[in-house]
């Protein structure tokens, strides 16, 4: 279902339900406030607090970020770290994002401290309006209206904002949450991807140019680089980026949301009296990064070892993916032990995590995924559950540091053996589990990351000549 209607201006906004999930509503604002925000008409996307006519305090640091994310953003490192924690710490943030579906170019106001310049799509008029928005932002940067100029996961287009920041005498920051160019090249080479030949060639050409721009120019000239993981930092240093200007910021958790004491265990009779294994995530069987086949075969092996276990698959799935998983489960003789929950609200989903005896985190180690930091792992730990995860740089680091689970190889035999160890001694398993929440609070919470990121921004603002 599209989040947008087909109007090109005026009262055109994503659906109210989507904004409600993000803690926002659609509200009428004063004409004066709308004019100051640059919104069209008398409506803007806003938070539950009305948009003030007076600007935010000039003492608040002002950040501009052009992001690869589509609007409205949903990734937690954007919605939690930036929109919640950094805005809560006093930052004023302007985003530039392309719309996820056809619709107009506009300025969406999330709160008096945060707004998004949305680039329209689907019509020439919307795209031209988007170019005008980019022009307004460029002028604002050159006037020195932002304390920090940042690009997130953009490659060639980040060069424009690097130049604008340098001309304005403002620090430029690059945020690399994922190796986007390498991921695009992987897709272009994958014969299983339904991509026309001409598009594959175009993707390869874009990657060739993008790598030269990003690695040889943008990252070298950036004042600071935030990386997804220590492993990504190592790879960037190998490409010639100065180590002292790279700060890893792995995926984290807002521990007030992932707090076992605030979540009621799921009331599901299918779990009663049984050992509950749980996997949280999208169930796309065609995606090599999922490796759900490993944990399905592990379930069969665990049952054959004499454990009465069920596997909760917590997350969304397409009918074709569900059928493929059921076929594999039938081959293992455990089809009746699979529980598909589908997409659930966060509180309800976490109720199932509370019921789990063992949570599972398979993650392949390939040239792209090796620099990642699986979010589900720290979410399991924050909820106080013991984990079995395969040997992946971040997963090994987290479980060895926290002591909240077991590391094995990425095989059904390895997972089955580790699961059986935890199910055979639940007292020891629970002693592991209780170590998770305090470790996450101290090392992987977005509150901690907000302090880290803010300290880097503050230093850049202080040392950059004006």
Residues 362-416 pLDDT 10s:
999 988 999 999 999 999 999 999 999 999 999 999 999 999 999 999 999 999 9
Tens digits of residue pLDDT in 207-258:
999 999 999 999 999 999 999 999 999 999 999 999 999 999 999 999 999 9
Query: Would you identify the CATH topology of the domain 16-248?
Result: Rossmann fold (3.40.50)
Helix, strand, coil % over all residues of the chain, rounded to 5: 45, 20, 35
Rounded Cα distance, 125 and 128, in Å? 5
Rounded Cα distance, 272 and 308, in Å? 11
Which pTM does this prediction carry? 0.85
Rounded Cα distance, 225 and 242, in Å? 9
Q: Quick one: pLDDT at residue 145?
A: 96
Q: What is the mean pLDDT of residues 449-463?
A: 96
> Which whole-number Å values give the CA distances from 110 to 200, 241, 429, 450, in the listed order?
37, 35, 43, 19
Q: Is the pLDDT of residue 347 over 90?
A: yes
Tens digits of residue pLDDT in 421-433:
999 999 999 999 9
CATH pick for 260-443 out of 3.40.640.10, 3.40.50.1370, 3.40.50.2000, 3.40.50.150: 3.40.50.2000
Rounded Cα distance, 182 and 370, in Å? 12
pLDDT band at 178 (very low <50, low <70, confident <90, very high): very high
Q: Quick one: pLDDT at residue 320?
A: 86
**What residues have CB less than 8 Å from 20, skipping those under 6 apart?**
none
Percent of the chain residues past pLDDT 90, beyond the cut: 80
Structure tokens at 270: 């299918």
Beta bridge partners of 93: 63, 114
Q: Quick one: pLDDT at residue 18?
A: 36
Q: Quick one: pLDDT at residue 55?
A: 33
Tens digits of residue pLDDT in 264-315:
999 999 999 999 999 998 766 445 556 889 999 999 999 999 999 999 999 9
Q: Quick one: pLDDT at residue 121?
A: 93
pLDDT band at 27 (very low <50, low <70, confident <90, very high): very low
Q: Quick one: pLDDT at residue 353?
A: 97
Where are the chain's structural domains?
16-248, 260-443
Tens digits of residue pLDDT in 33-74:
434 444 433 234 433 333 333 333 347 999 999 999 999 999
Do domains 16-248 and 260-443 share one topology? The answer is yes
Rounded Cα distance, 359 and 357, in Å? 7
How high does pLDDT run on average in the chain? 87
Percent of the chain residues past pLDDT 70, beyond the cut: 85
Q: Quick one: pLDDT at residue 289?
A: 55
């Amino acid at each position: 279902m599209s989040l947008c209607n087909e109007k090109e201006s005026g009262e055109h906004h994503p659906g109210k339900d989507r904004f409600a999930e993000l803690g926002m509503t659609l509200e009428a604002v004063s004409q004066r406030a709308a004019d100051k925000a640059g919104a069209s008409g008398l409506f803007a996307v806003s938070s539950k607090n009305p948009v003030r006519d007076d600007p935010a305090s000039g003492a608040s640091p002002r950040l501009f970020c052009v992001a690869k994310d589509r609007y409205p953003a949903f990734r937690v490192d954007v919605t939690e770290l930036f929109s919640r924690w950094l805005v809560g710490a006093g930052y004023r943030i302007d985003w530039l994002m392309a719309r996820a579906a056809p619709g107009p170019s506009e300025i969406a106001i999330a709160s008096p401290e945060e707004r998004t310049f949305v680039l329209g799509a689907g019509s020439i008029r919307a795209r031209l309006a988007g170019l005008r928005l980019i022009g307004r932002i460029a002028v604002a940067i050159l006037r020195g209206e932002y304390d920090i100029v940042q690009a997130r996961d953009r490659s060639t287009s980040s060069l424009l904002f690097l130049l604008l920041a340098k001309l304005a005498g403002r620090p430029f920051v690059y945020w690399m949450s994922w190796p986007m160019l390498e991921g695009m090249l992987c897709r272009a080479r994958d014969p299983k991807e339904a991509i026309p030949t001409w598009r594959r060639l175009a993707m390869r050409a874009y990657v060739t140019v993008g790598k030269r721009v990003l690695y040889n120019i943008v990252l070298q000239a950036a004042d600071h680089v935030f990386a997804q993981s220590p492993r990504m930092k190592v790879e960037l240093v190998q490409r010639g980026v100065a180590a002292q200007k790279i700060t890893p910021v792995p995926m984290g958790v807002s521990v007030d949301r992932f707090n076992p004491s605030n979540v009621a265990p799921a009331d599901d009779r299918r779990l009663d009296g049984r050992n509950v294994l749980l996997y949280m995530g999208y169930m796309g069987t065609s995606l090599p990064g999922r490796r759900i086949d490993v944990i399905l075969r592990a379930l069969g092996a665990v049952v054959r070892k004499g454990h009465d276990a069920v596997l909760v698959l917590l997350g969304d799935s397409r009918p074709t993916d569900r059928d493929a998983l059921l076929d594999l489960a039938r081959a293992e003789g455990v089809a009746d032990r699979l529980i598909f929950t589908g997409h659930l609200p966060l509180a309800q989903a976490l109720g199932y995590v509370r019921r789990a005896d063992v949570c599972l985190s398979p993650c392949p180690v390939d040239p792209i995924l090796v620099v990642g930091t699986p979010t589900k792992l720290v979410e399991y730990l924050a909820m106080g559950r013991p984990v079995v995860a395969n040997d992946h740089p971040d997963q090994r680091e987290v479980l060895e540091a926290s002591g909240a689970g077991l590391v094995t190889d990425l095989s059904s035999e390895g997972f089955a053996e580790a699961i059986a160890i935890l199910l055979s001694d639940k007292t020891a398993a629970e002693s592991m589990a209780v170590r998770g929440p305090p470790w996450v609070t101290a090392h992987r919470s977005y509150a901690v990351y907000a302090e880290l990121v803010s300290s880097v921004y503050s230093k850049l603002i202080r040392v950059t000549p004006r």
